[in-house]
Amino acid sequence: MKQRLERGGVVGPARAGGAGRLLAILLLLSGCGQVVAIKVARHDPNPSGYYVCEPAEDGKTFNCKSDRAFHVYDSELAAGEPCEYGIANLHVETNWRGKVTRIQFSCAVAPVGEFPKE
């Protein structure tokens, strides 16, 4: 049974990592206290992507890919990478033991500006 622990949460500005520019997002899941690191693909061609993260082989991290393109729900968040404008939505699934089995998030999009005064 899938369990929702958090929805619409804000992770805060995502930051590019060091060598390899892998993104690590630290999530403190209030329901179970588990800290999860997520690796995001290095050069994802879809900056406004919808990412699905599955557990990596090491059992400690999650690998993410955006196999569904431009699934964006607009939200206002700070800028970061590879989601240039931060993360819009976050959805975490756990198994019955509270172990995280899948994480989904979508990138926020650009802020809204005004037209010239003429």
Partner 1 sequence: MPPSHPALKIHKNAHWRDVHHANDAVRCTRYELTPRTGTTNEQLLDVGGALGAVLEFAIDEGEPLRTGGGRWSLSSIGRPKSALLDLGNHRRISAVPTTWLTPESQASSASAEVTPMLIAAGMTVNVVHRELAKKKLALKTSGASDGQTFAGAIATGTHGADLNVGALHDTVLAVHLVVGPDRSFLLQASTGGLTEKAAETLGRWFGIPCELVSDDQLIRAARVHLGSLGVVLHVIVETVPLYYLERRVTPHQDGDLRWRPVLSHRRPNAADAGHPASPDFLSLILHPYLPHPENEPRAWLNTMRKLPFTGQTGVITKPSDVSLKSDLADFLPGIVHLFEHDLELPRNPILRAITSSQLRSIYGTTVSTKRALPGAMFGPPDFLGIDFDPLRGASAEYVFNATQALVGVETILQTLATQASAGNQYLGGIGIRFVKGSNAWLALNAKQTTCFVELQSLYTDELPAIHSAVASALTKASVPYAGHWGQWALNTPAVLRSYWGERAITQWKKARATLLPTAKLRKIFASPILAAAGLG
Residue 76: which H helix or E strand, with range? none
Encoded tokens for 6: 């958090």
The nearer residue to partner 1, 59 or 113, going by C-beta atoms, is: 113
Q: Which of 68, 16, 11, 70 shows the shortest CA–CA distance to 42?
A: 16
The nearer residue to partner 1, 20 or 113, going by C-beta atoms, is: 113
Q: How far is the CB of 18 from partner 1 (least distance, A)?
A: 25
The nearer residue to partner 1, 40 or 109, going by C-beta atoms, is: 109
The nearer residue to partner 1, 48 or 86, going by C-beta atoms, is: 48
Q: Which of 53, 3, 47, 48 shows the shortest CA–CA distance to 27?
A: 53
Q: How far is the CB of 60 from partner 1 (least distance, A)?
A: 23
Which residues contact partner 1 (rule: CB under 8 A)?
A: 1-2, 4, 7-8, 45-46, 48, 67-74, 76, 89, 91, 93, 104, 106, 109-118
DSSP state of 81: S
Q: How far is the CB of 34 from partner 1 (least distance, A)?
A: 18
Q: How far is the CB of 20 from partner 1 (least distance, A)?
A: 23
Q: In what order do the strands lie in the sheet with 35-40?
A: 3-7, 87-94, 100-107, 50-55, 61-68, 35-40, 23-28
